[in-house]
Every structure is written in structure tokens, then in C-alpha cells.
A and B are shown apart, each in its own frame.
Chain A
Amino acid sequence: QQKVQQSPESLTVSEGAMASLNCTFSDGTSNNFRWYRQHSAKGLEVLVSIFSDGEKEEGRFTAHLNRANLHVSLHIREPQPSDSAVYLCAVKDTNAYKVIFGKGTHLHVLP
């Protein structure tokens, strides 16, 4: 089964500075990756989906995928205090019905 790990566990940035979050996975055959955001133990919302190596941008959120390196990252441009939340990496498992989540990165954006 796919193993998904995220780093760092916690990240503090100043408003306007770039925030970069990392996710590594164990099986490079997956082609279905997403980043979700969760505010204060509420439901998750999808930010960006990426299905092939390279870059995918959705507004201020950009995902970079490198399956050879088993790595997918999320970059948040000009983060705002309202972006303070937990960010979770999700990888579709080889079992088509299962999605495996990382434990999340707590992002704190200081005004």
C-alpha cells in the first residue's frame, strides 16, 4: 500500500512570503495526486490536482510532481493569514478506490 509522508509538520511564514510544503510517497506508479486544505478540524477542500510530472497551478497554489523522485510539493504564493490551516497530501492508491493521506503540515501565516 502507498505510504505518504509530509514535511515539515509545522511551518510558520510571514504574510506575502512563499510557503513550500513537501510530500513523499512510496509507489511511483500512481498518477493521481491532490493537495487539500483543512481549517480548524472542519471538512477538507481540494486545492490542486496533478496527474503528470511537472507543474500545475490553481490561483496562488502550485503543485510540482516528480514521480521518479517520489515527491510532490505545494507552493503557496503570497500567503495570507486566512491560509493558516492544515494542508494534506493525498495519493490515489494502486487500489483504485482508496486514497491515502499524509498526516498534514500545519501552516501558520503571520500578519
Chain B
Amino acid sequence: EAAVTQSPRNKVAVTGGKVTLSCNQTNNHNNMYWYRQDTGHGLRLIHYSYGAGSTEKGDIPDGYKASRPSQENFSLILELATPSQTSVYFCASGDPQAYSGNTLYFGEGSRLIVV
């Protein structure tokens, strides 16, 4: 079965500090995504990648960087964390190539609190 694992699951960070959220998938999917979920906003796309070495900006990329060093791993980096980045972050993988593709498989989420 598809598996996407995120770490850390919970994190408290200091304003101005650096935070790295990691994601690993064993699905061999080309595409990976980072979303954040906030009350009133639903799921919003931050960055995505369509393969190792590629990163693309989503709808709300400001304040975030992404890194895709391999097919399996996709990281979200907050260089200077701010309280407005307090949220639950979800990583997902998917394969859009087939007509019926793009089912996304999600991790369990990473809860980040910036104080």
C-alpha cells in the first residue's frame, strides 16, 4: 500500500529560527506536494515537485523553500519561521501521468507551532 511518512509530527519553533519538514514516499511517484491546512482556508498548495531535482511554486510559496534531492524525499524549509506559519502541514505524493492518475496519497501531517 502507498506510504508517505512525515517528520517531525510535532514541532515548536522560535520566531526567526529555521525549520525543516521532511517527507518520504515509497510509492515511486513522480510528483510530490506540500500543503498547509488552516481553519477557514482548507488545504493550500505551497510547493510541488514533478521529479528529483525539481521544485515548483504553488499558490502560497512566500516564506517557504522546497528541496527534492531524490525520488523518495521532499523537504519543506522555513528559513526564518514566523508565527503566521503556525499550521498543520501535509505532504502528498501522486502520479499524474495516467488519464485517471493524480490520486494523492497523504502523510499524517506535521503540526508546527511558531512562538
Contacts and interface: CB of A to CB of B under 8 A. Distances in A.
Partners in one complex: yes
A36 B96 CA distance: 17
A101 B109 contact: no
B103 interface: yes
B104 A51 contact: no
B106 interface: yes
A41 B35 CA distance: 13
Interface residues of B, number: 30
A96 interface: yes
A103 interface: yes
Interface string A35-60: 01000011111100101000000000
Interface residues on A, range: 20 to 34
B37 interface: yes
A43 B103 contact: no
B99 A51 contact: yes
Interface in A52-71: none
B102 A92 contact: yes
A97 B90 contact: no
A43 B80 CA distance: 26
Interface of B: 4, 31, 33, 35, 37, 40-43, 45, 48, 50, 56, 58-59, 88, 90, 92, 94, 96, 99-100, 102-104, 106-109, 111
